[in-house]
């Protein structure tokens, strides 16, 4: 007879997924994440050409990014719940197909209004796609072996983010801005159709008994809360803190209060109390917000210092910052090894020290700073951020049962959207005081990871796995 812990874990110990299907699931998860990451970075290169070609205003061009970000931020958690309810493989496939179709539509768009509208549609399908990649990994791999798949996914995203500007520059120079969007279509359509046609076992919903109803009112309240909050933060770098921004924050606060009230009363909440009540999950999400805020805020400030203060051109700026990207790509798998050997708490503490030190080193750059100093700062930044991203993501996803993996993945992705927006907004607000003080505050944000890391499990094995092993030993020993 199954024990409660075994039934709860479902795919972890009930019927193991064959190795070839685990590899297929990992490949789908990585490639899906790469498509989304590549799309975001290549668009930045294409925006000036798009503006000239469609005779668009600067505000309209900004909305080609803002509309996408707001749609994604508002729907990630609900999209994760849809995956929990209907199966992550299926939701992943439809997310890819929709993302590819929206990309094709943007490539044929006759004017900027169509581009903005279809970017919002693309954001909706991107929201479906991203949590599903985490849900599929949670279904395919035991909790104590999730670190390396997440690390490989993180490394691939880092490569895509680094290669995006180069790929975008070549495409825009040779074929125009529309080619940037057509680039998404073949891989999205092929991978989406394959995901629908090839059905690995144990990638679907693993809940025993009837599935809960979808919490549509909760989803609407959460979407408005996150969309208003992210929209306000995204507008700060260009518009500053305006009355419109204050109204956005007020709307976010009111709908957040209504969401808490609703979630406490509904029998099938969108945000399971056991998930949000977990100190470990909350600490992991907090680390992701703090680390991504420090990382992206520091990159924002440093790009200004390197180009406007030290007089570097964009190419040389990219070269001196390259150690950060390289270390993030190479360090993520190493972090997975350390996570398995040391456990989450020591690995997260080490990552926090590296990230905080990197920001502090970069706060010292100025006229006369050596390339070694600048490159070393970026190297520490990338190493620390990679370690924290892998560790905190693994903790968040593996601490929940498979039937809530989509919501956990949605929360993880939401944290990774809110953190950068907070970091850039804080940097924009503080930079009039000087780039040094701005970076010191961002170093303080990075250091917030230390008290949060103390709340993570010390052991390499997650509690769920340890409990199951103890139960199995007691049964074996009689």
Residue 197 phi, psi dihedral angles, 5° rounding: -80, -40
As a whole number of angstroms, the longest Cα–Cα distance in the chain is: 77
Class at the top of the CATH hierarchy for domain 278-478: mainly alpha
Q: Which is more confidently placed, 11 or 316? A: 316
pLDDT at 351: 93
208 neighbors 8 (Cβ within 8 angstroms)? no
Question: Which residue, among 387, 385, 381, 289, has the nearest Cα to 345 in the 3D structure?
Answer: 387
Calpha distance 374→372 (Å, rounded): 6
Calpha distance 190→365 (Å, rounded): 46
pLDDT at 9: 35
* Within this chain, domains 1-206 and 278-478 share the same CATH topology: yes
Calpha distance 87→132 (Å, rounded): 8
pLDDT at 324: 85
Question: Domain extents for the chain?
Answer: 1-206, 215-269, 278-478
Q: What is the pTM of this model?
A: 0.82
Token duo for residue 310:
């030290």
Give SS3 for 363. Answer: coil
pLDDT at 24: 82
For 1-206, CATH gives 1.20.1250.20
Pick the most confident of 132-146, 249-263, 274-288: 249-263
Calpha distance 147→165 (Å, rounded): 28
Question: What pLDDT, in 10s, does the model give residues 458-471?
Answer: 654 444 444 443 44
Integer angstrom CA distances of residue 180 from 46, 87, 170, 374: 7, 31, 10, 32
* Secondary structure (DSSP) of 59-123: HHHHHHHHHHHHHHHHHHHHHHHHHHHH-HHHHHHHHHHHHHHHHHHHHT-SSHHHHHHHHHHHH
Instruction: Report whether pLDDT(401) > 70.
Output: yes
Sorting pLDDT into bands at 50, 70 and 90, what band is 198? low
Element (H, E) at 478: none
What would the mean pLDDT of 162-185 be, rounded to a whole number? 82
Question: What pLDDT, in 10s, does the model give residues 227-276?
Answer: 888 888 877 776 777 777 788 889 989 999 999 888 888 888 888 777 77
What would the mean pLDDT of 426-455 be, rounded to a whole number? 88
Q: Among 120-129, 192-201, 271-280, which is the least confidently predicted range?
A: 192-201
What would the mean pLDDT of 47-76 be, rounded to a whole number? 84
């Amino acid at each position: 007879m199954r024990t409660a812990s075994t039934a709860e874990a479902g795919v972890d110990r009930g019927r193991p997924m064959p190795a070839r299907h685990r590899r297929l699931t990992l490949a789908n998860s990585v490639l899906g994440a790469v498509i989304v990451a590549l799309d975001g970075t290549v668009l930045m290169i294409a925006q000036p050409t798009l503006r000239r070609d469609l005779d668009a205003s600067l505000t309209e061009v900004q909305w080609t990014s803002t509309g996408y970000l707001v749609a994604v931020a508002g729907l990630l958690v609900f999209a994760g719940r849809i995956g929990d309810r209907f199966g992550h493989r299926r939701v992943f496939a439809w997310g890819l197909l929709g993302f590819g179709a929206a990309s094709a539509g943007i490539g044929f768009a006759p004017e900027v209004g169509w581009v903005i509208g279809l970017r919002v549609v693309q954001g909706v399908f991107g929201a479906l796609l991203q949590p599903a990649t985490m849900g599929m990994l949670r279904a395919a791999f035991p909790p104590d072996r999730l670190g390396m798949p997440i690390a490989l996914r993180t490394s691939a995203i880092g490569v895509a983010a680094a290669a995006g500007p180069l790929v975008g520059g070549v495409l825009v120079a040779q074929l125009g801005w529309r080619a940037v969007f057509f680039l998404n279509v073949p891989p999205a359509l092929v991978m989406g159709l394959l995901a629908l046609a090839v059905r690995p076992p144990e990638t679907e919903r693993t809940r025993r008994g009837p599935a809960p109803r979808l919490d549509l009112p909760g989803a609407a309240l959460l979407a408005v809360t996150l969309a208003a909050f992210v929209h306000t933060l995204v507008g700060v770098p260009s518009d500053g803190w305006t009355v419109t921004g204050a109204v956005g924050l007020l709307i976010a606060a009111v709908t957040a209060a209504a969401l808490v009230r609703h979630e406490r009363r509904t029998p099938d909440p969108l945000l399971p109390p056991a998930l949000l009540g977990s100190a470990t999950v909350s600490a992991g999400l907090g680390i992701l917000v703090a680390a991504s805020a420090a990382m992206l805020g520091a990159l924002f400030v440093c790009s200004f210092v390197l180009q406007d203060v030290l007089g570097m051109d964009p190419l040389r700026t990219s070269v001196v910052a390259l150690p950060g990207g390289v270390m993030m790509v190479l360090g993520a798998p190493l972090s997975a090894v350390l996570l398995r050997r040391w456990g989450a708490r020591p690995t997260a503490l080490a990552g926090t020290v590296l990230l905080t030190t990197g920001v502090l080193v970069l706060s010292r750059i100025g006229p006369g700073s050596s390339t070694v100093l600048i490159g070393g700062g970026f190297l520490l930044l990338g190493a620390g951020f990679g370690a924290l991203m892998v560790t905190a993501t693994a903790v968040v996803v593996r601490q929940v049962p498979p039937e809530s993996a989509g919501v956990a993945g949605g929360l993880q992705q939401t944290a990774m959207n809110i953190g950068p927006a907070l970091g850039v907004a804080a940097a924009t607000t503080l930079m009039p005081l000087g780039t040094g003080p701005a970076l010191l505050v961002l170093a303080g944000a990075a250091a917030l990871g230390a008290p949060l890391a103390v709340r993570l499990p010390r052991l390499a094995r997650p509690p769920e796995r340890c409990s199951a092993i103890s139960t199995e030993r007691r049964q074996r020993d009689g």
